[in-house]
Amino acid sequence: MEKNEIDALKEKLFYAPKHASYSMTEDEIRGADDFCEGYKNFLDNGKTERECTAEIIKLAEANGFSQFIPGEKYSQGEKIYYNNRNKSVILCVIGKKSIAEGVKIAAAHIDSPRLDLKPSPLYEDSDMAYFKTHYYGGIKKYQWPTIPLSLHGAVVLKDGTVIKVTVGEDDEDPKFVVTDLLPHLGREQSKRTLGEAIKGEDLTVLIGSRPFNSDDASESVKLNIMNILYEKYGFTETDFLSAELEMVPAFKSCDIGLDRSMIGAYGHDDRVCAYPAVMAVLDAEEPEYTVMSVLTDKEEIGSDGNTGLNSSYMKYFINYLAVAEGYDGYQVLRKSECLSADVTAAFDPIYPEVMDKRNSAFINKGVAVMKYTGAGGKSGTSDASAEFMGKVRRILDDAKVIWQVGELGKVDAGGGGTVAKYVANLDVDVVDIGVPVLSMHSPFETVSKIDVYMAYRAFSEFFKIK
Ligand code: MN
Ligand code: MN
**Do 44 and 252 contact (CB within 8 A), yes or no?**
yes
The per-residue DSSP string of 222-258 comes to HHHHHHHHHHHH---GGGGGGEEEEEEE-PPPEEEST
**Distance in Å, CA 53 to ligand 1 centroid:** 16
Count Cα neighbours of 9 within 13 Å in the Cβ-side half-sphere: 6
All domains in the chain, ordered by first residue? 3-112+266-463 (3.40.630.10), 114-249 (2.30.250.10)
Q: Helices (DSSP H) in 286-362: which residue ranges?
A: 313-324, 329-333
**Distance in Å, CA 189 to ligand 1 centroid:** 31
Taken in order 316, 320, 322, 326, is the CA torsion positive or negative?
Answer: positive
**Distance in Å, CA 302 to ligand 2 centroid:** 10
**Distance in Å, CA 296 to ligand 2 centroid:** 12
C-alpha–C-alpha distance, residues 459 and 279, integer Å = 9
β-strands 337-341, 103-109: how paired?
Answer: parallel
**Distance in Å, CA 105 to ligand 2 centroid:** 20
- Host H or E run for residue 53: helix 49-62
pLDDT at site 425? 95
Nearest ligand, CA of residue 139? Answer: 2
Integer CA distances (angstroms), 396 to 13, 101, 221, 276, in order: 19, 21, 59, 15
**Do 437 and 444 contact (CB within 8 A), yes or no?**
no
Please choose, from the candidates 58, 92, 59, the residue with its C-alpha nearest in 3D space to the C-alpha of residue 76: 92
Q: Helices (DSSP H) in 249-355: which residue ranges?
A: 268-282, 313-324, 329-333
Q: Helices (DSSP H) in 310-433: which residue ranges?
A: 313-324, 329-333, 386-398, 420-424
pLDDT at site 87? 98
C-alpha–C-alpha distance, residues 56 and 193, integer Å = 41
pLDDT at site 330? 97
Nearest ligand, CA of residue 271? Answer: 1
pLDDT at site 300? 97
Nearest ligand, CA of residue 343? Answer: 1
Please choose, from the candidates 265, 223, 245, 275, the residue with its C-alpha nearest in 3D space to the C-alpha of residue 59: 275
C-alpha–C-alpha distance, residues 240 and 3, integer Å = 71
Nearest ligand, CA of residue 420? Answer: 1
β-strands 79-84, 66-67: how paired?
Answer: parallel
C-alpha of 189 from chain center: 33
Integer CA distances (angstroms), 334 to 12, 99, 329, in order: 36, 11, 9
**Distance in Å, CA 381 to ligand 2 centroid:** 14
Q: Which residues contact 199 (CB under 8 A, 6 or more apart)?
A: 141
Residue stretches of the chain with pLDDT short of 50: none
**Do 103 and 289 contact (CB within 8 A), yes or no?**
yes
**Distance in Å, CA 417 to ligand 1 centroid:** 8
Q: Is 114 helix (H, G, I), strand (E, B) or coil?
A: strand
**Distance in Å, CA 10 to ligand 1 centroid:** 35
The per-residue DSSP string of 123-149 comes to EEETTEEEEEEEEESS--GGGSTTS-E
Nearest ligand, CA of residue 274? Answer: 1
Integer CA distances (angstroms), 96 to 72, 220, 335, in order: 17, 65, 16
Please choose, from the candidates 93, 89, 86, 72, the residue with its C-alpha nearest in 3D space to the C-alpha of residue 323: 72
**Distance in Å, CA 109 to ligand 2 centroid:** 9
**Do 451 and 364 contact (CB within 8 A), yes or no?**
yes
Please choose, from the candidates 18, 209, 62, 106, the residue with its C-alpha nearest in 3D space to the C-alpha of residue 428: 106
Nearest ligand, CA of residue 138? Answer: 2
Integer CA distances (angstroms), 316 to 60, 82, 303, 323, 428, in order: 21, 11, 16, 10, 14
pLDDT at site 131? 98
pLDDT at site 410? 87
**Do 257 and 439 contact (CB within 8 A), yes or no?**
no
C-alpha–C-alpha distance, residues 317 and 180, integer Å = 47
Q: Which residues contact 112 (CB under 8 A, 6 or more apart)?
A: 47, 48, 137, 248, 266, 267, 269, 270, 271, 300
**Do 347 and 335 contact (CB within 8 A), yes or no?**
no
pLDDT at site 301? 96
**Distance in Å, CA 300 to ligand 2 centroid:** 5
pLDDT at site 224? 95
Q: For the chain, how long is the longest CA-to-CA vector?
A: 90
Q: Where are the beta strands (DSSP E) in 319-397?
A: 337-341, 344-345, 367-370, 374-375
- Residues linked to residue 346 through DSSP beta bridges, in sequence order: 361
**Distance in Å, CA 301 to ligand 2 centroid:** 9
